Amino acid sequence: MPSVILETERLRLRSVLERDIDDVYTSCVDPDLQRWVPLPAPGEPYTRENAEDFCLRLAPGIRTSGDGQHWALLEREGGRFVGSLALLRTEWPAKVTEVGYWISPWGRGRGYAAEAVVAVSRWAIDQGFQRIELKAAVGNIASRRVAESTGFVHEGVERNAMPLNEGRTDLAVYSLLPTDLKTTP
Predicted confidence (pLDDT) per residue in 103-155, tens digit = 999 999 999 999 999 999 999 999 999 999 999 999 999 999 999 999 999 99
Closest Cα to residue 97, out of 162, 175, 171, 9? Answer: 175
**Pairing relationship of beta strands 131-137 and 153-163 according to DSSP bridges:** unpaired
Query: Which tops the pLDDT comparison, 63 or 76?
Result: 76
Q: Which residues pair with 48 in a beta bridge?
A: none
Which of these ranges, 1-15, 95-109, 144-158, has the smallest mean pLDDT?
1-15
Q: What pLDDT is recorded for position 183?
A: 61
The helix, strand and coil proportions of the chain, stated in percent and rounded to the nearest 5, come to: 35, 30, 30
CB 69 within 8 A of CB 86: yes
Model confidence at 66, pLDDT cuts 50, 70, 90, reads confident
CA distances from residue 154 to 39, 125, 144 in whole angstroms, order as listed:
25, 18, 9
Is 6-183 a domain of CATH 3.30.1330.60? no
**More confident position, 156 or 66:** 156
If pLDDT is split at 50, 70 and 90, which confidence band does 102 have? very high
Q: For a pLDDT cut of 70, what percent of the chain falls above it?
A: 97
pLDDT surpassing 80 at residue 2: no
**What is the spatial distance between Cα 17 and Cα 38, in angstroms, rounded to a whole number?**
22
Kindly list the domain boundaries of the chain, sorted by start residue: 6-183
Residue 22 in this model has a pLDDT that exceeds 60? yes
Average pLDDT of span 80-105: 97
